Amino acid sequence: MDVSVILPVVNETYSLRETVETIDRTSKKYIKEYLIVICKFTTKESLEVIAKLEIDFPGLITIHKQVKPYLGGALREAFDLAKASHIILMASDLETDPNLVEQLIVEEIQCPTGIITTSRWIQGGSFKGYSKLKLIFNWIFQKSISILYSSKLTDMTYAFRIMPTDLVQKIRWEELRHPFLLETLIKPIRLNISTKEIPANWQARSEGESQNTFIRTFAYLKIAIKVRFQSTRSMLK
Ligand SMILES: Nc1nc2c(ncn2[C@@H]2O[C@H](COP(=O)(O)OP(=O)(O)O)[C@@H](O)[C@H]2O)c(=O)[nH]1
Ligand SMILES: [Mg+2]
């Protein structure tokens, strides 16, 4: 088993470097590549950090400039390019703690056809720097989705997880914006793929800005309802 770590980048600099360095320190033996996805908005400062990473981690950095738009577009193209047996979906802004990558991989080895995903809501997980109002909305949203899907999962929108590459390559994806992150879990759930959560501590990024807006959160509901009633055959390529 080996891993392609997918890292979408817009405005991250030291956060991206720390992400790669931490994973290299803790999980080097499993990593086949860091698949960095850039877009036309990726800043000059970020591109400089990426160029430096290419020198410091020879042979391990793959750079892809996305053609499709938005975060979903970036990740969908990365899925098709991934060379390892598994992909890790995460961010480069340190909102996905790179120290957890080793545990994700070790747990996945126990069940390589399933998905190990992270949760900020289970025992041991937490949010830091999230407003009370957002927390309430998040909790209600998570609860609604888990009821809709009769699932025990507690954090389906936090996209920090490990998945088999053949699975992500055979699913027909639809979303291009952030709701894609939810789609990457609910389609596998409908396809009866096993899932397990481990706790994660979330902390708001300390550099750059999110590409997501709170008001768009409601778009997640649309894909949640659509996929719930979609035939599983139509989910596959
Ligand atoms: N390549 C690429 N990366 C993106 C895009 N949108 C977001 N990202 C990156 O994906 C990660 C998660 O996105 P972010 O905007 O922080 O979303 P949030 O954490 O859900 O609010 C960050 O590292 C972003 O820089 C995009 O359109 N293209
Ligand atoms: Mg973020």
Q: Whose CA is nearest to atom 27 of ligand 1?
A: 70
- Regarding the beta carbon of 182 and ligand 1, being less than 6 Å apart is answered no
Expressed in angstroms and rounded, the spacing between residue 93 Cα and the centre of ligand 2 is 6
Could you give the number of structural domains in the chain?
1
Rg (CA), the chain: 17
Q: What is the pLDDT of residue 216?
A: 81
Instruction: Point out which residues pair with 89 in neighbouring strands.
Output: 6, 161
Q: What is the pLDDT of residue 218?
A: 81
Range of the domain at 75: 3-235
Q: Alpha-carbon distance 65 to 42, whole Å?
A: 10
Q: Alpha-carbon distance 227 to 187, whole Å?
A: 7
Q: Alpha-carbon distance 79 to 204, whole Å?
A: 26
- Regarding the beta carbon of 224 and ligand 1, being less than 6 Å apart is answered no
Expressed in angstroms and rounded, the spacing between residue 71 Cα and the centre of ligand 1 is 6
pTM greater than 0.85 (yes/no): yes
- What's the CATH number where 104 sits? 3.90.550.10
Ligand having the closest approach to the CA of 71:
1
Q: What is the pLDDT of residue 184?
A: 98
Q: What is the pLDDT of residue 214?
A: 78
SS3 20: helix
Kindly write down the DSSP assignment for every residue of 197-212, as one continuous string.
EEE-EEE--SSS--S-
Q: What is the pLDDT of residue 192?
A: 98
Q: Alpha-carbon distance 150 to 228, whole Å?
A: 10
User: For 33, phi and psi rounded to 5 degrees?
Assistant: -165, 155
For the chain of 237 residues, list the mean pLDDT of each consecutive stretch of 10. Answer: 98 98 98 98 98 98 98 98 98 98 98 98 95 92 97 97 98 97 98 98 95 84 97 98
Expressed in angstroms and rounded, the spacing between residue 170 Cα and the centre of ligand 2 is 27
Which of 181, 188, 139, 131 lies closest to 160 in space, CA to CA? 181
Q: Alpha-carbon distance 20 to 29, whole Å?
A: 14
